Amino acid sequence: MNVDAAGLEREIDELAAISSAPAPAVTRILFSDEDIEARAWLRAKFSAAGLSVREDAVGNLFARWPGSEPWLPAVATGSHTDAIPNAGKFDGVAGVLGALEAVRALQREGFRPRRSIEIIMFTAEEPTRFGLGCLGSRLLSGVLGAAEAADLRDAEGRSFDGLRTGAGCSGSLDSVRLSAGCYRAFLEMHIEQGPLLERAGIDIGAVEKIAAPAAFRVRIQGEGGHAGALLMPARRDASLAAAELALAVERAALESGSADTVGTTGVFRIEPDAINSVPARATLEIDLRDTNLATRDRAEATIRAAADSIAERRRVQIGIEVINSDAPANCDEELVSMICDSTAATGCSVFRMISRAYHDSLFMARVCPTAMLFIPCRNGWSHRPDEFASREAVAKGATVLADALRRLAA
């Protein structure tokens, strides 16, 4: 397979330069000037490869290589190009540009697909702007409804509907959802965002399961007062109740009975945030994940029971709001085996594994048979400027992806 490793590396660098943060950091927030410029750059690359390009009402980009029997369900691949603040240049991008290079490699060797091959650049995989990840694939799969999406607001109060039309995305949000049977399969190539492949010296990870998050916003109302005058027995300190709840999240994850349960209290704010004032209010945001829905639900129930106990004992009010609660996904076994076969055929090593981060594949698994292939990244680092995957690692991923696409499209 004639994958142009140097050219692929160059394109990753070119896209990384479209950023609101100076190199080596990459920042591309949904519908920012940089995001719009990156979309135009990508459209030009798709068109230069002879692919037909369309964009839906939320900015999901589709680049299709028509097959000889275009009425058949297409084979899809892709990822995202938006980047959180102060991120790196490989997250998502390797899966979009790697897919493009896989298609070009197939074109160069004279392959003629029977099924069309379609590359998808998903809009807003990162939750940066609206607090909800995978907006594009949620809408494509129907997990998120059009009315819910239209009502989303960013930190400055601007609506998703207003921002997307301002960015040139026209049409009804109801039109985004994919029809049943539109794709034969979906494959996503991605950096691992973990250290396992690099540590083991393995070229490719064939993902069998994708963990999914439940996210909660917790508001705690206590009673404030002067730090010197309000005596300890009378206190209803919201921050101490919040601290207990954060520890309860950790304990629930550790004691869930599943090695895949993880719990994170990533947001912890108190008010009035003054050294000489007893905290009256606290806000927490909790991320709870597992590959098994039953054990994740048990951990959630444990956290909720702890919140009730803390509220009663500390005489505070605790309200829990669900931000999102998504089911984990099992990758299609036929596709996982095909990735393993393609890995062997291209002379690479492979390891079956779990994706502990979630991706657009989590929602594409609701649409069609889906699988992921991971490539190693240095030290497992991601979402930071020194995120790195070698030229060879990216090229091997594109080579395996090309072979799998050929098998599926033939």
Q: How far apart are the first and last CA of the chain?
A: 16
Token pair recorded at residue 129? 């702007």
Tell me the C-alpha distance between 223 and 282, whole Å.
11
Tell me the C-alpha distance between 38 and 42, whole Å.
6
Class of domain 212-325: alpha beta
Measured CA to CA in angstroms, residue 381 lies from 88, 190, 352, 378 at distances of: 9, 13, 20, 6
Measured CA to CA in angstroms, residue 23 lies from 96, 191, 234 at distances of: 21, 20, 53
* Adjacent-strand bridge partners of 191: 375
pLDDT at res. 352: 98
Ranges of beta strands (E only) in 222-316 are: 225-226, 262-271, 277-278, 281-290
pLDDT at res. 212: 87
Q: What is the CA 113 to chain-centroid distance, rounded? A: 29
Dihedral (C-alpha) 352, 358, 363, 368: value to the nearest 10 degrees?
-10
Q: How long a stretch of residues is the chain?
A: 410
Tell me the C-alpha distance between 108 and 177, whole Å.
33
Tell me the C-alpha distance between 338 and 166, whole Å.
42
- Structure pTM? 0.92
**Domain assignments of the chain as residue spans, ordered by start:** 5-211+328-409, 212-325
pLDDT at res. 8: 98
Quick count: other Cβ atoms within 10 Å of Cβ 374?
28
Q: What is the DSSP-derived secondary structure letter of residue 315? A: T
Tell me the C-alpha distance between 371 and 204, whole Å.
13
pLDDT at res. 4: 98
Token pair recorded at residue 143? 């997990």
> What is the DSSP code string of 60-93?
-EEEEE--SSTTSPEEEEEEE--EEEEE-S-TTH
Largest CA distance in the chain: 81
Token pair recorded at residue 386? 């020194």
Instruction: Tell me the helices (H) and strands (E) count for the chain, helix number first.
Output: 12, 17
Q: Order of strands across the sheet with 317-325?
A: 262-271, 281-290, 212-221, 317-325
pLDDT at res. 1: 72
Per-residue pLDDT of the chain (410 residues; tens, 9 = 90+): 799 999 999 999 999 999 999 999 999 999 999 999 999 999 999 999 999 999 999 999 999 999 999 999 999 999 999 999 999 999 999 999 999 999 999 999 999 999 999 999 999 999 999 989 999 999 999 999 999 999 999 989 999 999 999 999 999 999 999 998 999 999 999 999 999 999 999 999 999 999 988 999 999 999 999 999 999 999 999 999 999 999 999 999 999 999 999 999 999 999 999 999 999 999 999 999 999 999 999 999 999 999 999 999 999 999 999 998 999 999 999 999 999 999 999 999 999 999 999 999 999 999 999 999 999 999 999 999 999 999 999 999 999 999 999 999 99
pLDDT at res. 131: 87
Topology annotation, domain 5-211+328-409: Aminopeptidase (3.40.630)
Q: What is the DSSP-derived secondary structure letter of residue 356? A: S
> What is the DSSP code string of 321-332?
EEEEE---EEPP
Asked if residue 186 lies in contact with residue 364, where contact means CB atoms within 8 angstroms, the answer is yes
Quick count: other Cβ atoms within 10 Å of Cβ 366?
17
